[in-house]
Amino acid sequence: MIREGWPLTIIIIVAALGMSFFLWSIGIYFFFLPIIFLPFLKFVRFKQRGLKTKVCPACELPSDGNYCSRCGTKLV
């Protein structure tokens, strides 16, 4: 059995233990409590960034970026 993913597992465990120790040391003893409220985040309305849709002058493909993803032309 190939075990190539174990370094990532160790990194995640060390990071979780480090975050737990840090939160415990600054006085947040019940650091798991915010996890309870994660399902309710969908009811909180965040300010969404308005994206401008631009149209490629060559192939008329709408895009949100600066360059057309189909032909590479700079969007206006």
pLDDT tens for 22-75 read 888 888 776 665 666 666 767 766 666 667 888 899 998 888 888 888 898 888
In whole angstroms, give the CA distance from residue 36 to residue 27: 19
Domains held by the chain: number: 1
Q: Is residue 1's pLDDT more than 60? A: no
Residue 64 lies in a domain: yes
| Alpha helix ranges (H) inside the chain | 6-25
Residue 40 lies in a domain: no
Residue 20 lies in a domain: no
Residue 59 lies in a domain: yes
Residue 13 lies in a domain: no
Longest Cα–Cα distance of the chain, Å, equals 59
In whole angstroms, give the CA distance from residue 8 to residue 26: 27
Residue 29 lies in a domain: no
pTM over 0.85? The answer is: no
DSSP state of 49: P
Residue 71 lies in a domain: yes
- Domain limits for position 67: 51-76
